[in-house]
């Protein structure tokens, strides 16, 4: 099944929102197939945010993403990239719809608590950037047949 990469940013760690985010992931029925804490540095952020390196706020973004460790997660599910982007909400927390993670838990366009891959192609690249192959666990949860109909998986 499809996989996506999620980062619980320092704004989630420092504000003690890890449980809230993980709770929503579990409640939705997304399968956690990788999860670890790591300290990011400028090198990996230049790759991960390559589309933003020339923007004036990039140094501030690096600072905000390296101020403490993050938690990276790999999630699995049918159409999970699209599903988790919808659960995340738009970039600016002040504009994100209530009910989304950013809409419910943040007020900032930068300190917006989670990263979510934006396409299936980018998800594959991002998972490989943050996880070693042996850190991704492919298993079948017992509840799978209650998450999906037979013809959906």
Catalytic residues: 115
Three-state DSSP class for residue 5: strand
Q: Note whether 61 binds ligand IDP by CB under 6 A.
A: yes
Shortest spacing between CB 7 and ligand IDP, in angstroms: 9
Three-state DSSP class for residue 124: helix
Q: What is the DSSP letter of 94?
A: T
For 49-68, b/e burial (b = at least 16 CB within 10 A) is: eeeeeeeeeeeeebebbbee
Q: Quick one: angle between helices 18-28 and 80-88, nearest 10? A: 140
CA angle, corner 124, sides to 28 and 79, nearest 5? 35
Q: Note whether 69 binds ligand IDP by CB under 6 A.
A: no
Identify what 52 binds: Mg ion, ligand IDP, none; CB under 5 to 8 Å per kind.
ligand IDP
Identify what 3 binds: ligand IDP, Mg ion, none; CB under 5 to 8 Å per kind.
none
Range 102-121, binding ligand IDP (CB under 6 A): 109-110, 112, 115, 118
The one among 26, 37, 42, 52 contacting ligand IDP by CB under 6 A? 52
Binding site for ligand IDP (CB under 6 A): 49, 52, 57, 61, 91, 109-110, 112, 115, 118
């Amino acid at each position: 099944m499809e996989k996506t990469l999620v980062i619980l940013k320092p704004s989630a760690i420092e504000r003690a929102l890890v449980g809230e985010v993980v709770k929503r992931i579990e409640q939705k029925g997304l399968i956690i197939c990788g999860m670890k804490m790591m300290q990011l540095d400028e090198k990996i952020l230049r790759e991960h945010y390559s589309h933003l390196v020339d923007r004036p706020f990039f140094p501030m973004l690096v600072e905000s993403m390296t101020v403490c460790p993050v938690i990276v997660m790999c999630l699995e599910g049918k159409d999970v990239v699209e599903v988790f982007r919808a659960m995340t909400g738009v970039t600016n927390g002040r504009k994100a719809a209530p009910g989304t993670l950013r809409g419910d838990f943040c007020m900032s366009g930068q300190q917006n608590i989670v990263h979510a891959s934006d396409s299936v192609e980018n998800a594959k690249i991002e998972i490989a950037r943050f996880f070693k192959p042996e850190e991704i666990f492919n298993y079948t949860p017992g509840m799978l047949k209650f998450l999906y109909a037979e013809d959906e998986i």
